[in-house]
Copies of this chain bind each other. A is one copy, B any other.
Amino acid sequence: MALAHKGFFPEGIPVGFTEKSLIAFSGQERVPILIDQGTIVTESWTIACHLEDSYPDRPTLFGGSMGRNLAGFIDAWATRSVFPLLVRLVLCDVVDHLEGADADYVRTSREKQMGLTFAAMRQERDRWLDPFRQSLAPARSHLKRQLFISGEAPGYADYCLFGFFQWARMISSYPVIESSDTVGVWRSRVLELFDGFASKAPASSN
B-binding residues in A (CB < 8 A): 60, 62-74, 76-77, 79-81, 135, 137-139, 141-142, 145-146, 148-151, 155, 157
Contact = CB atoms under 8 A, between A and B. Distances in A.
Chain A residues touching B, majority SS:
helix
A40 B77 CA distance: 34
Nearest to A66: B63
B69 A138 contact: no
A76 B138 contact: yes
7 contacts: A62-B66, A64-B66, A67-B70, A69-B148, A74-B74, A80-B138, A80-B141
Contact of A66 (B73, B138, B141, B155): B155
Nearest to A157: B70
Contacts of A60: 66
A19 B151 CA distance: 38
> Nearest 7 CB-CB pairs, A to B?
A63-B66, A70-B70, A69-B151, A77-B138, A67-B67, A76-B138, A80-B137
